């Protein structure tokens, strides 16, 4: 990564990255502005949701730092409007309370941070989203350039039909361009459904697959299991080793989870340090056995950190099966039972598996 991306500077020859900070509190605006401007970012501000949408319509920022509680339009409504109106990617970092995580992600936010923020965490999250933004923009620009070249080649192909040799060469070029377009489209599609840090599927895609898998299980009378996973004492990991080391732990956890499940199983980042597994054609007993294997595999890890240190951590797991016993036959019941089982696992001392019963 070049030096410009490590600070608030955009690639060489361009202006610094611009962040739109949306909050109705002058004190909060000043606090966030001081942190971000001190790292080289250029800041625009808006005092409410309506002003933010007007500002974005006039000039696109590179990232939107958006408060939830505002007059007229709250942060959720602003985020939903942005996702509905803008086709290309505009990262949104939501300023919210930890309990509002799922609602923020459902509204279309890419990440969240609580206030008052910890400066290192704020800058790390901003850098991560801007890296994704830069990659998306690069892929989008290549996509548009390839489409323009494709149109030009098609026009030339019509004019040179009589020249068979040149026509064959141009057809080969068109084939190569189509292949590149397909690859770019696949990359864009993958980015839209994966978590930028861990490369697990994101919360939004998990909810889509959950609904479709529950519908299929209901239609064919099959079982479907869910495992909710939480990293034990993750705040302590961040406090002792730093947030970058905490990120390394999450990345390694996903690698262990992916290595331990089948190809048809789904590994998703549910939010923060919480992950979810979706296991088609799997009973609660089978899911319990898998969960125990994963728990032991994580416990046995001795993660070597980039800073030269090592890190050991554990996970707690809650298991549920569709259809949940004594519950309605829907997707929310499957998650609810697994989530309650996870709570019991943490309450019972952590580093354990609990199977939900109702």
In 3D, which of 58, 41, 246 has the Cα closest to residue 133?
A: 41
Does this model's pTM top 0.85?
no
Contact 350, 233 (CB under 8 A): yes
Top CATH class of 3-129 equals alpha beta
Nearest-angstrom CA–CA distance, 56 and 78: 11
Q: DSSP secondary structure string, 193-254?
A: HB-TTT-SB-HHHHHHHHHHHHHHHHHHT--EEEEEEEETTHHHHHHHH-HHHHHHHHHHHH
Rg (CA), the chain: 23
Nearest-angstrom CA–CA distance, 143 and 277: 33
Share of the chain above pLDDT 70, in %: 85
Active-site hit among 18, 77, 187, 273 = 273
In 3D, which of 134, 63, 75 has the Cα closest to residue 106?
A: 75
The two three-digit tokens of residue 280, written as one number: 């088609």
Does residue 103 carry a pLDDT above 50?
A: yes
Q: Do the two domains 3-129 and 203-355 of this chain adopt the same fold? A: no
CATH number of 203-355: 3.30.70.270
Q: What is the pLDDT of residues 122-170, one digit of tens each?
A: 899 899 888 887 787 777 667 677 777 777 777 766 776 666 777 677 7
Longest Cα–Cα distance in the chain: 79
* Domain segments of the chain as ranges: 3-129, 143-192, 203-355
Contact 323, 329 (CB under 8 A): yes
Annotated active-site residue 248? The verdict is no
For the sheet with 315-322, list strands across it.
266-271, 274-280, 224-231, 315-322, 353-355
Q: What is the pLDDT of residues 283-337, one digit of tens each?
A: 999 999 999 999 999 999 999 999 989 999 999 999 999 975 555 567 889 999 9
Nearest-angstrom CA–CA distance, 21 and 29: 7
Question: In sequence order, what are the residues at sequence separation of 6 or more whose Cβ sits closer than 8 angstroms to the Cβ of residue 179?
Answer: none
Q: What is the pLDDT of residues 65-100, one digit of tens each?
A: 998 888 878 888 888 888 888 756 789 988 876 666
The two three-digit tokens of residue 27, written as one number: 């004190």
């Amino acid at each position: 990564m070049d030096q410009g991306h490590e600070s608030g500077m955009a690639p060489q020859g361009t202006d610094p990255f611009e962040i739109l900070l949306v909050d109705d509190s002058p004190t909060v605006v000043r606090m966030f502005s001081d942190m971000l401007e001190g790292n080289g970012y250029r800041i625009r501000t808006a005092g409410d949701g309506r002003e933010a949408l007007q500002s974005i319509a006039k000039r696109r920022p590179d990232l939107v730092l958006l408060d939830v509680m505002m007059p007229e339009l709250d942060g959720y409504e602003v985020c939903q409007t942005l996702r509905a109106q803008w086709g290309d990617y505009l990262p949104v970092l939501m300023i919210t309370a930890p309990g509002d995580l799922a609602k923020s992600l459902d509204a279309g936010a890419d990440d969240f941070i609580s206030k008052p923020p910890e400066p290192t965490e704020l800058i790390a999250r901003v850098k991560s989203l801007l890296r994704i933004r830069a990659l998306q923009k690069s892929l989008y620009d290549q996509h548009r350039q390839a489409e323009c070249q494709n149109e030009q080649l098609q026009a030339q192909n019509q004019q040179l039909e009589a020249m068979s040799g040149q026509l064959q060469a141009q057809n080969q070029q068109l084939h190569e361009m189509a292949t590149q377009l397909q690859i770019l489209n696949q990359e864009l599609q993958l980015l839209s459904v994966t978590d930028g840090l861990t490369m697990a599927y994101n919360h939004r895609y998990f909810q889509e697959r959950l609904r479709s898998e529950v519908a299929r299980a209901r239609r064919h009378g099959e079982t479907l299991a869910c495992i909710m996973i939480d990293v034990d004492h993750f705040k302590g990991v961040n406090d002792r080793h730093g947030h970058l080391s905490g990120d390394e732990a999450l990345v390694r956890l996903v690698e262990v989870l992916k290595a331990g499940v089948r190809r048809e199983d789904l590994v998703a980042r549910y939010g923060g340090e919480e992950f979810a597994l979706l296991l088609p054609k799997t009973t609660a007993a089978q899911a319990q056995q898998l969960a125990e294997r994963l728990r032991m595999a994580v416990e046995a890890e001795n993660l070597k950190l980039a800073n030269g240190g090592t890190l050991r951590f554990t996970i707690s797991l809650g298991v549920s099966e569709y259809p949940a016993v004594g519950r309605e036959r829907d997707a929310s019941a499957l998650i609810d039972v697994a989530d309650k089982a996870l709570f019991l696992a943490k309450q019972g001392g952590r580093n354990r598996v609990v199977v939900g019963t109702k």
